[in-house]
Amino acid sequence: MITIKDLHKSYKMGSNSLHVLKGINFDVAQGEMVSIMGSSGSGKSTLLNILGMLDEADEGSYHLDGKPIKKLNEKIAARYRNEFLGFIFQSFNLINYKTALDNVSMPLYYQGMKRKERTERAHHYLEKVGLADWAGHLPNEMSGGQKQRVAIARALASDPKVLLADEPTGALDTKTSYEVMELIQQINDEGKTILVVTHEDDIAHMTKRIVNLKDGIIIDDSVVTQIRATEARQRAYENV
């Protein structure tokens, strides 16, 4: 689903340049659930933004579902983004004066979907994330966990091939983080390819594979063992 080869990215600031990604290689197969872990500043968001077509690498190649992602015109880029990618962010990025239903259905409006189908889909995905009774509520009437569930429903509504989550639990308490990760696991169980960026070890261990990023280089890329997954789960419950 995702193939990246020797990806480099620098940020230019005046005459200075900060080399953030220093030759990243990895593949993600369809149906995988992978975390990109690393401390703050290691380049996780930079990498996720490139994968999400919100930014472009300076060097290297990126293929998404077999298609080269390079120098696309904005129309094709927008189509790929809609068709392939769903985003979840730490800060939810909901529209505060719109109901949960409208937050979920609005991107579908911009994709040209008719009202009836938009509304049906939005209800379907709100139900899927456990918020069937919250469709008419505004974000500020909801808890952090509920807001993230709305954001997840919104990301899923266009049925993208890949879900990209940047610190999806970063603004949530431990118990809620765990519940949101369980929901994301369930979505993966149903077949969705998912990438989760996190700096938290136990959150990373709720995925199936951890790509460890340090100073713009992958220092480890391993499958999560059952033992470590169980330990992380136990710790999460102890903290509740």
Query: Which residues of the shown chain bind ligand ADP in the complex (CB under 6 A)?
Result: 11, 13, 18, 20, 38, 40-46
Nearer to ligand ADP (CB atom), residue 166 or residue 202: 166
Cβ of residue 45: shortest distance to Mg ion, in angstroms? 3
Nearer to ligand ADP (CB atom), residue 37 or residue 236: 37
Are the CB atoms for 226 and 208 separated by under 8 Å?
no
Nearer to Mg ion (CB atom), residue 148 or residue 158: 148
Nearer to ligand ADP (CB atom), residue 15 or residue 226: 15
Select from ligand ADP, Mg ion, none the partner in contact with residue 176, using the beta carbon and a kind-dependent cut-off of 5 to 8 Å: none
Task: Give the separation between CA 195 and CA 160, rounded to whole angstroms.
Answer: 13
**Which tokens sit at 180?**
């949101």
Among residues 21, 18, 75, the alpha carbon closest in space to that of 51 is found at 21
Nearer to ligand ADP (CB atom), residue 104 or residue 211: 211
What pairs with residue 35 in β-bridges? 196, 210
Cβ of residue 60: shortest distance to ligand ADP, in angstroms? 16
Cβ of residue 240: shortest distance to ligand ADP, in angstroms? 27
- Could you say whether residue 45 binds Mg ion (CB under 5 A)? yes
Per CB under 5 A, the segment of 3-11, 39-47, 50-58, 180-188 that binds Mg ion is: 39-47
Cβ of residue 8: shortest distance to ligand ADP, in angstroms? 13
Contacts of 62 (CB under 8 A, 6+ apart): 2, 3, 4, 7, 50, 51, 68, 69, 70
Cβ of residue 11: shortest distance to ligand ADP, in angstroms? 3
Which residues in this chain contact Mg ion in the complex, by CB under 5 A? Answer: 44-45
